[in-house]
Each structure stands twice: as C-alpha cells, then as structure tokens.
A and B are shown apart, each in its own frame.
Chain A
Amino acid sequence: MSTNPLSVSSTAARIKAFLLEHFPSARSQSLGGAESLLENGVLDSLGILDLVAYLEREFGITVADDDLLPEHFETLDRLTAFVEQKRTSTA
C-alpha cells in the first residue's frame, strides 16, 4: 500500500508539535527531520514513554515492546515513517 504524501506531512507536523509542547529542550533546537532526538537529549527513557502514549492515543496505533527500538525513535523522519507504517498495517 502506498502512503499518502499529505498524510505523511501532517503526521510529521503533529509529532513535531507534540515534541515542542512537551519537551522544552526541543525548542532551542531546529528539530529538523534528520536531527537525532536521542543524541541531542531531546528524548530520554521517560520521554519515550510519554511519546509512545501520545502516538497510541493520537494515531490509534499500538506500539509493541518489539517496536521500542532506537531506529524508530532516532529522528523525526524515522518516527514519522514508523507511525505511517503502523497506521497502514492496522488500517
């Protein structure tokens, strides 16, 4: 199934808005799609829990333990791709 480019951009924007609202340290960074959220200290172990709860609520997906991997949370681009893939697989 192909992903809708419009939906991708709105997914990215929504996740970015959530990060900016709940992670004050994200605001002093440009938060570009390819910037590391883990290395720059935007996300830590507890922050990831908050983020997962948001993604499940907002996008109606279920994030399993096996999904909790650095490769899915490393950057905004990766996060967006992960959420899109989850949405298409549950749709």
Chain B
Amino acid sequence: MDYLIHHMLRASARRFPDKEALVHLDRRLTYREVWSRVEGLAEGLTRSGLKRGERVGIFLDTSIPQTLSIFAISRAGGVFVPINSLLFPEQVGHIARDCQMKGLITAASKLGTLGPILKDLPSLEFLIVVSDAEVPDSASLPVGDFEDLCGLPGLAASSDRAIDKDLGAILYTSGSTGKPKGVMLSHSNVCAGASIVSDYLEISERERILALLPFSFDAGLNQVMTAFQQGATIVLMTFVFAREIVRTLLSERITGLAGVPTLWSLLAQPSSSLAKQPLPDLRYITNTGGAMPQPVLGALRQALPTSRIFLMYGLTEAFRSTYLPPEELDRRPTSMGKAIPDTEILVINEDGKLCGPGEVGELVHRGPTVSLGYWGAPDLTARVLRPHPLRQPELGEGELVCYSGDYVTMDEEGFLYFVGRRDTMIKTSGFRVSPTEVEEVLFQSGLVKGAAVIGVPDDVLGQTVKAFVSARDGDAVAVAELLEFCARKMPRHMVPKAIEVLDELPKTTSGKVNYPALRKREGL
C-alpha cells in the first residue's frame, strides 16, 4: 500500500524501472537508479542516528542530490526541510534552530560560509556533504559523503514505521510579522497534493516536466511529487537567461512547465525566443505564486497556441487551493478559478457567514491538503487553522479548515477573484516577505533611528519592497551604505528596491508606525 511520500517513488520504480526519472545537465537516472540511491542514502541517514520524526535540512542548489535527499529522508522516517539555496547563513541558521534540526545535507562548497552558524546549533548531530569541493577541517560534526551513502545497500523492505498522519516535511515561509515560520505538511498532505494536481493537469507517465521552481516552495515541491507519483520524467535546471529555458524546452521535449509571474514576464519579453519556434511538445504551463499580468498572459497565449494555460492559486498553509481551467481563460482571464478536486473553497464574511456572489470575504480552504499548522507556534496555528465555520454542530470541531488571509469574491458560477491581503505580508517574485524581517535588518545596520517597510505594486514582480527610514539625531542616512548592508544580510528578493528618507516616520496616537499613512504616500 502506498501512503508515505517515498512510496510514490517506490511504486513508479516497480512499474517503470528502466524509465528515465531524473535529469540534470548531462546526468540521467532511471527510476531503478533513483530508488536504489534513495534506499542507500536512507540507510546512511539511519546509521548517522536519524530517528522517526526528526528533522533533516536540505541546503543544496538545484541538483540530483537535492531530489534524492527528499525521498531518502522520508524513507528513513525523518522530516525533510528544504531550504532555498538563495538564503544567507543568518536565515539558514534561523530555520535550523527553529526546527531543531538533527542533520543537514549540504555541499562542501557551502560549508565555508555556513561554518560559523553550524557551531551554534546544539541540536545538529551530523552533516552529509556533496563533495563539490574540499571539506573544510573546521567541521566539528561527523560528516558523511553523499555519494558513498547513496551506494550503501538499502534498508530492510518492511522497515517503514511512519503512518500518513505523521509529519513529512516542513516548508519555511514568511507571514506579515517576524521571522519565517515552518508550515508542517503530513505525508498525507503531500500525497493528496500530488494526486489532486495530477488529476486536473492530467499528468501521466508520458510527461516530461521541467522543474524551475525551488523545492522549498509548495508548488515546486508538488511538481516533483506529481512526476514521481505518475512515473513521469523530471528535468532540473537553473537559469540566468530566459533563452536557456527555451533551449531546454526544445532539447528535452518538455511537456509541462510551472512558473511564477516573474518567470512568465521574462519569457514573454518582446525579445524572448519563446515565440520564435513552435513548441509542439509543451502540453501545458501553470502559473502560481501571484496573479499573471494580463499583457503577459496575452503574449503567452500568442506564443504558445497549442499549450494549455492553467492559472493556479495556493498558499503553503493549504498546499494547493484553486485553478482556472484553460477553457475559461477567454471568459474570465482575471479569475483565480475554482476549488481543486476533493476540496471546498468557502468565502466567509466578518460575521462568519457565507458571502453572496460579489461580496468580499476571506478565502477559507477545506480539504485533504490543509496543513498541520506552524511548527512550534500553536497560537499562530490556531489563528489560521480553525473549526469549519458552517459545520453541523453534531459533527463537533474535529475538522480544521485553513483561513487564508486572502480577500476574494466569488461570482454566481463559483469562480473566485482575488481582492487583497488581510495583513501586510509582501509578495515579490513569488516569495513571501515579512516587513518586520526586513525592518529588523535595517535596524541591525545601526544606520537608522526608524524603519518601516511596505510592499508597492510592480508590473513584473507583483510587489517590491520599499523602506522608509529616519535618521539618527543629527546624522544623515547613508543610503548607499544601508543598501550594501542589506545586500550582505539578505537574499536579493528581500533587499529594498527603494529607500526613502523621512525626517520622522508617521506615528499613530499610540506611538506605533502609521503604515496606512505610508501606503497613502505611495498612492495606495
């Protein structure tokens, strides 16, 4: 019976042992080869001391080891924590401390910069390292060699002790305040997400899927899960120039591609090579992580006349939520679509009642992908995961639904339209950014007296980060120095695109920063 994350891979390895499963650059692995490495690495993790339910971080660039690690940690009974390779040591350290990471799978080339934070992690007991460089001597922990462990004989077949209610993965994401929180996904959440998305995208073993989105992002992770569940081929790549994507779409005969609006904006640029040759193999593309700008959608429809375009919406806390079937694009191109299969979307007003057509309310998600909440944050979890507001009293409060924090409307036929966020969370280039996390770094610089961060609309990125700062008494603010400090402390998507110096930040009567006044300054 298949009920754990790695069971999806195991089943495909039995059905299609010699089929191409995983491709990166010139490396190509069959399902048999992938499964055998996963089994070996799982044995290595077990020998390293990993026990059921313990967390293992994966801090690797897009690569075959990154994918193998996910399934091996699951196979060994652990919980995988994918960490975006763009993050800086400060953010990696926060994630590792927060989830009390027992082991970390990373690359030798990253150990140099990670070194100082690793020493401050009492929970960390072992490292597994992809040897792309010399391993520095400074590592005071036991270090396993990734390739060596992949070659170990596998675990005993019957050794799975986890059940599908168990925690399988933690995905770190930002909210409106504080540092990133770990969204907990059970094995059953992840498997349900793969089944549901495979269903409406009609993914089969014939698919060749190009993975550009990071696996630390729910939609990116879901891509590899659907591919392995269905026995399809997944091709991994990183890129700088959009034409590299087009080249890979052609050379690998890619049939499915998922992206965020920024990626589509790149591909739909007038100079892009996307429209220069037909891509008959590209059966579908999907957008998630923000609304696709209408001009971009128009350009893509023209450039890809034979590809089906699915607009999707999801939030990490409920994994995946809605999609707009391609047939509806002409009639309602600005819609987020309808609930995904086996899922109910309710629009609830402030009185906790169901909204009528066109009435603005909060999107509430009910279904098998509702996560287990935030790791180590029961109060925050209780605000987002709540009992079904319209439940029949006799059923009790056993089932929790996810309050998204997104305001939407629903039309008479049940299609949803995004209106705005309930809170001040910023969404830029598919990333969620908490204003307070950026403000903290601005304060850390010691260069400002006050700092306040908001999101301002941007055609390509969705939103960009804008900071308002005030000077310490008598000083001018060294804006260039401040930006440089930010760039050393945060990945690019968090660094303010603009910094405006004010004599004083506007305050409310209670002395807090008046954010609405700042938004008003920006005409928002």
Interface residues of A (CB under 8 A from B): 23-25, 27-28, 38, 41, 43-49, 52, 63-65, 68-70, 73
Is the CB–CB distance between A24 and B242 below 8 Å?
no
Taking CB atoms and an 8 Å cut-off, the chain B residues in 380-395 that contact chain A are none
Instruction: Looking at the assembled complex, report how far the CB atom of A51 sits from the nearest CB atom of chain B, in whole angstroms.
Output: 12
Is the CB–CB distance between A46 and B488 below 8 Å?
no
Is the CB–CB distance between B240 and A49 below 8 Å?
no
B484 within 8 A of A: yes
B237 within 8 A of A: no
Is the CB–CB distance between A25 and B241 below 8 Å?
no
Nearest residue (CB) in B for A41 is B492
Give 21 pairs: A residue, B residue, CB < 8 Å, sorted on A: A23-B487, A24-B486, A25-B487, A25-B495, A27-B483, A28-B484, A28-B488, A44-B240, A45-B239, A45-B240, A45-B241, A46-B460, A48-B241, A49-B460, A52-B271, A64-B271, A65-B243, A68-B241, A69-B241, A70-B240, A70-B241
Main secondary structure of the interface of A (DSSP, over half): helix
Q: Which residues of B contact A38 (CB under 8 A)?
A: 240
Nearest residue (CB) in B for A69 is B241
Is the CB–CB distance between A65 and B271 below 8 Å?
yes
Is the CB–CB distance between B266 and A44 below 8 Å?
no
Taking CB atoms and an 8 Å cut-off, the chain B residues in 136-157 that contact chain A are none
B176 within 8 A of A: no
B444 within 8 A of A: no
Contact of A28 among B262, B273, B487 (CB under 8 A): B487
Is the CB–CB distance between B266 and A45 below 8 Å?
yes
Q: Which residues of A contact B483 (CB under 8 A)?
A: 24, 27
Is the CB–CB distance between A68 and B243 below 8 Å?
yes
Separation of A23 and B242 alpha carbons in the complex (Å): 20
Contact of A63 among B243, B271, B460, B495 (CB under 8 A): B271
* Given A28-B488, A45-B239; 8 other pairs, CB 8 A cutoff: A25-B492, A38-B240, A44-B240, A46-B262, A46-B460, A46-B461, A48-B240, A70-B240
B269 within 8 A of A: yes
Chain B interface residue count, CB cutoff 8 Å, equals: 23
Separation of A69 and B273 alpha carbons in the complex (Å): 12
Is the CB–CB distance between B239 and A27 below 8 Å?
no
Instruction: Looking at the assembled complex, report how far the CB atom of A36 sits from the nearest CB atom of chain B, in whole angstroms.
Output: 11
Is the CB–CB distance between B492 and A44 below 8 Å?
yes
Ranked 5 nearest A-B pairs via Cβ: A24-B487, A24-B483, A25-B487, A27-B484, A65-B271
B306 within 8 A of A: no
Q: Which residues of B contact A64 (CB under 8 A)?
A: 271
Q: Which residues of A contact B273 (CB under 8 A)?
A: 65
Taking CB atoms and an 8 Å cut-off, the chain B residues in 393-415 that contact chain A are none
Contact of A68 among B242, B461, B484, B486 (CB under 8 A): B242
Q: Which residues of A contact B514 (CB under 8 A)?
A: none
Nearest residue (CB) in A for B270 is A65
B1 within 8 A of A: no
B424 within 8 A of A: no
Q: Which residues of A contact B486 (CB under 8 A)?
A: 24
Nearest residue (CB) in A for B244 is A70
Separation of A47 and B487 alpha carbons in the complex (Å): 14
Instruction: Write out, one digit per residue, whether chain B residues 260-285 have a CB within 8 A of any chain A CB (1) or not (0).
Output: 00100010010111001000000000
Taking CB atoms and an 8 Å cut-off, the chain B residues in 217-267 that contact chain A are 239-243, 262, 266
Separation of A63 and B487 alpha carbons in the complex (Å): 28
Is the CB–CB distance between B480 and A27 below 8 Å?
yes
Q: Which residues of B contact A46 (CB under 8 A)?
A: 262, 266, 429, 460-461
Q: Which residues of A contact B266 (CB under 8 A)?
A: 45-46, 49
Is the CB–CB distance between A24 and B241 below 8 Å?
no
Nearest residue (CB) in B for A67 is B271
Instruction: Looking at the assembled complex, report how far the CB atom of A40 sits from the nearest CB atom of chain B, in whole angstroms.
Output: 12
Instruction: Write out, one digit per residue, whether chain B residues 483-506 have a CB within 8 A of any chain A CB (1) or not (0).
Output: 110111000100100000000000
Taking CB atoms and an 8 Å cut-off, the chain B residues in 441-484 that contact chain A are 460-461, 480, 483-484
- With A38-B240, A70-B240 as known contacts, state yes or no: A49 contacts B487, CB within 8 Å: no
Instruction: Looking at the assembled complex, report how far the CB atom of A76 sits from the nearest CB atom of chain B, in whole angstroms.
Output: 16
Instruction: Looking at the assembled complex, report how far the CB atom of B465 sits from the nearest CB atom of chain A, in whole angstroms.
Output: 12
